[in-house]
Structures are given as C-alpha cells and as structure tokens.
Copies of this chain bind each other. A is one copy, B any other.
Amino acid sequence: MADSGEPICSKRKRENEANGGSEDGPGAQVSPFAGFQLQRVLGDSAREKTVFLHGKLNDETGAEKDAVVILEKTPFPADNIPDLLHGDPEPKLQMRNDVYSTYSLHPPPQLNEVKTTLIFPATEKHIKKFLRQEVFLIQETGEDYKSITLPFIESQSFSLQWVHNILEKKAEADRIVYENPSPTDGFVLLPDFKWDQKQMDNLYLIAICHIRTIKSLRDLSSEHLPLLNNILNEGLDAIRERYAINGSKLRIYVHYQPSYYHLHVHFTALSFDAPGTSVERAHLLSDVIQNLQLDSQYYQKHTMTYALRADEPLLQKFKDAGKC
C-alpha cells in the first residue's frame, strides 16, 4: 500500500478498534476526522474522482500531528442502480439539445459512498508521495532541442549500464523473447518490468535496439528505417508466436521524452490503458516510419510537444531560456 512504515500507534489502535468495531450507537463513536484541519490539497484526479489531502489531527495525547486523507468516490454498485435515479431533490435539468439532456442528481447518502483512507500520523514521505507536481506542456523546436535539451541530456550522467547488461546478456538473458543480433539493424525484445506475464490483458514488452548512438526520436533519420521496420515486423511476429496475440491487438510506440536515452520501443496490449500512451508522450512506430519516409529530417525539424513535471530539471532549463 505504501512505501513507508511508522511504528504502530498501539494505544490509539486499541482505542479505535474498540470504537470502530461497534455499530454507530448514538454518541458511542467519535469521528476519526473530528478536528481535522485541512492544510492543502496534495493532488486529485478528476477522471478517477479521487482527492489527496494533507491536514492536521490530534493524536490520543492531544498532540497535533500530520495526517494524509485520501477520498475516492466508489464505482456504481450493480444492484441498486435503478434506485439512484430516484433521489431527493428531483434531478435538475442542466442542458438540453436535441435528444441529449443532462441533469444533476443527488442520490440518497447510503447509495453514494466515498472510500476514505487515513494515514495517521503521516511522515513527510507520505505527504510527498501524494503531492501532485504541477505539469507543464513544452513546445520543443528543433533549435530548442539543440540548445537546451541535448546539452542537458549530455550533462546528466544517466547510467545506461542496465541496458548494456541486457544487450550483452549479462542480465535478464533468460527473459529475452526474441533477438535480431545485427549491431546496426538488430534489437532485443523482452517483457517490461511492469508486466507480470500472468495475463495477456496488460501485455507489455520492450524492444531495445543494439545500436548505442540513438538517444531518442530526435536522432532518427531515414537511414534507421531498416532498424525500425525490423522492430515493427519481427517484433509483431515474435509476439504472435510466443503469446498468440496479433498485431490488431497491439499498440507499438516510442516515448518522447523517453525515460532513458537509448532508443527503445513499447509494445502494449491495445485493451490496456497503459501509462504513457497519451498523445503528448507516445508516438506510434508506424507514424514514425512514415514521417521518416516523407522527410529524413522530420524529427530534427519537428516541434515536439511533451509534458514536464515542475520538479524536472529540464523544465528549469526551458524556464531559464525564457521558453515557458
């Protein structure tokens, strides 16, 4: 559930269990959130209907301590859906156009639960874990790449040792699904760490090319078309053979910015809403190949759009250059 553990607050634990286990007799239970003082909203997800809060609560000795509270609206339960539509007050019309209309509805509380998680007392690490970093969209021109991004990448000592270990069979050799050994046009295909390989629903493989001079999309030109076509065609064949999944079920793409600067291609199940598949980060290999066929210098000239978190050093470089 979390990456930090505090000593168990045994006293509070015993007290609350005694209360929490019982039914809500009048006056029998003090709300665990009584006296909660909101400090700030750490983050939220409008899509998932969650919010992460940092606040203060008093512990059993009366001392004020940090708390993290996570609120998450619950999915609609299958068994009482018709009851939801008959709330009080009546649904209120908000908009109508043609056959479409929208209403605001306020179902009875017992049909509209919020799952609430309390972390108390919370450490600084808990708080940071849920603190959403603000995200900014960057428009990186070809010139920005040369003057800002490339010098930044070169100044960082991103270690690619783990990638080289894979390519040299010093690590994960038993996980390799397929290899084309050509030093210029070849690659290694293996399951991504995030895939447990237990079901096909979230299939996730990575093709890592043997050539070590391609940091990202920005380094690609038409001379790399044989490599890219090999990854596309042989990757598809290998996945069909090993997992009986065919190409119409696979999303094949590269990231820009990538998380490491050695060209690699992602293969994920189409049914899997994998992180990093959104249009501001993912570039379909099929589109990359076509763009290079149209213009060998496409990725040197193109203004690339991508998101950076507020704490990423590259964002500061763009700010320093007055570019965002």
Contacts and interface: CB of A to CB of B under 8 A. Distances in A.
Contact of A100 (B2, B20, B71, B86): B2
A95 to B, nearest CB: 7
Given A272-B46, A278-B279, A100 B118 contact: yes
Contacts of A71: 76, 81, 84, 105
A312 interface: no
Interface string A68-80: 0101011110100
Nearest to A175: B95
Contacts of A36: 82, 85
Contacts of A19: 93
Nearest to A318: B248
A75 B102 contact: no
Contact of A279 (B162, B172, B249, B277): B277
16 contacts: A19-B93, A31-B90, A46-B199, A46-B272, A47-B202, A48-B48, A71-B76, A73-B112, A85-B116, A98-B161, A99-B120, A105-B116, A107-B114, A270-B280, A287-B305, A294-B295
Contact of A251 (B75, B270, B279): B279
Given A21-B93, A135-B249, 16 more contacts: A31-B85, A46-B201, A46-B269, A48-B48, A49-B75, A49-B76, A51-B76, A84-B114, A87-B109, A91-B116, A105-B114, A106-B110, A107-B109, A112-B112, A137-B248, A251-B278
